[in-house]
Copies of this chain bind each other. A is one copy, B any other.
Amino acid sequence: MISGFGTVGQGVAEVLLRRKEFLTGRYGAVPKVVCVMDSKTVTKDPEGLDLAQIVKRKQETRSVGEERYTDSLEVLDSVDYDLLIEVTPTDIKTGGVGLKNITHAFECGKDVITVNKGPLALEFSRLIGLARENGCKFRFEGTVGGAMPIINLCHENLVGENIRSIRGIFNGTCNYILSKMDKGQPYEQALKEAQQLGYAETDPTNDVEGYDTAAKCVILANSVFHRDVSFKDVKITGISQITADAVAQAASHNMVIRLIGEVSDTKLEVSPRLIPAGHPLGISGTLNIAQIDADLAGPITINGRGAGKIETASAILSDLIAILDERHGHA
């Protein structure tokens, strides 16, 4: 069951098609997608939908199906599924339909994979508790850093470490703008260019005011540091007030300005910081990066693509394989 069929949902369909052979080899068959819904319509087939056809239909008609629905929970109830891939758009204020869908799925004992930051940034502990009570698996690698492995990396490879802090760049849009400002562009012009390239939305508030980074920090604080915090607990400063002057001033000291999210047992903060040129966090362009400070392993730095249709879907694939492996008792 896939809820949400925008860029990421279509990416998931495409990735499942591209990995047909791999999934068949590993599990005997590609997992059946029995239902896909976008914001208004739904299409179902208990025998498994033809994903290529649905992507085509969505692109041609802007709808996944001809059947319109009014209540997504009724759709969920009408389908026999065991895993929800929740990829509706992030709503950081209310959690949106994603929060409802995830809650409902857990209440019905279904596993969930999501890249929707809203529900997690607002009600992390409730959702984790609900998953646990109902014996459901819950994975959300793609919520932070897109294709850059970070959550599962900390939960699995680094599970024996005491992670002291994570600092990083978790928003490619801001980083693109700041990188352009390094080259002398004023903020407004850099933002406009980011919008023209599709990196920034028409209303860029969510990115440039640091809200998106803050949501990701909340998810890291809860999932890696086992804190019980939500979006309102983050100290947030965005980049919209950064002047060309400030950037030039930084450059004269061989520094760049980057929007850094920092999380630890006591910190939960998003703010523009001065980073020495050449420092890993001084990275340019749209990549995301995270520096993990682990007590035994020492510092570990990872970077990768923080967004993109196939890239984000690849994080969902990684979560899907982890869940299917557990179900199949794979090593």
List residues of A whose CB falls within 8 A of some B CB: 15, 18-19, 22, 137, 141, 147-149, 152-153, 156-161, 278, 280, 294, 296-305, 308, 310-311, 313-315, 317-318, 320-322, 326, 331
Q: Which residues of B contact A156 (CB under 8 A)?
A: 152, 156-157, 322
Q: Which residues of B contact A141 (CB under 8 A)?
A: 157
Expressed in whole angstroms, the Cα–Cα distance for A304 and B159 within the complex equals 16
Q: Which residues of B contact A19 (CB under 8 A)?
A: 160
Q: Which residues of B contact A313 (CB under 8 A)?
A: 296
Min C-beta distance of A296 to chain B, whole Å: 4
Expressed in whole angstroms, the Cα–Cα distance for A239 and B141 within the complex equals 40
User: Would A153 and B160 be within 8 Å (CB), given that A301-B303, A304-B299, A317-B296 are in contact?
Assistant: no
User: Would A305 and B311 be within 8 Å (CB), given that A158-B318, A160-B19, A160-B317 are in contact?
Assistant: no
Expressed in whole angstroms, the Cα–Cα distance for A147 and B157 within the complex equals 10
Question: Can you give 30 A-B contacts (C-beta < 8 A)?
Answer: A19-B160, A22-B160, A147-B296, A147-B298, A148-B300, A149-B157, A149-B300, A152-B156, A152-B157, A153-B157, A156-B157, A156-B322, A157-B157, A157-B318, A159-B318, A159-B321, A160-B317, A280-B303, A294-B314, A296-B310, A296-B311, A296-B313, A296-B314, A297-B314, A298-B304, A298-B305, A298-B308, A299-B305, A301-B304, A302-B303
Q: Which residues of B contact A305 (CB under 8 A)?
A: 297-299
- Which 6 pairs, one residue from A and one from B, show the smallest C-beta to C-beta distance? A296-B314, A147-B297, A300-B304, A297-B314, A149-B157, A160-B317
Q: Which residues of B contact A161 (CB under 8 A)?
A: 314
Chain B CB within 10 A, most for which of A152, A153, A301, A313:
A301
Q: Which residues of B contact A326 (CB under 8 A)?
A: 331
Q: Which residues of B contact A148 (CB under 8 A)?
A: 297, 300
Min C-beta distance of A214 to chain B, whole Å: 24
Expressed in whole angstroms, the Cα–Cα distance for A303 and B297 within the complex equals 11
Expressed in whole angstroms, the Cα–Cα distance for A101 and B311 within the complex equals 42
Expressed in whole angstroms, the Cα–Cα distance for A22 and B162 within the complex equals 10
Partner of A302, one of B18, B302, B320: B302
User: Would A15 and B157 be within 8 Å (CB), given that A326-B331, A331-B137, A331-B326 are in contact?
Assistant: no
B15 engages A296 (CB within 8 Å)? yes
Min C-beta distance of A138 to chain B, whole Å: 10
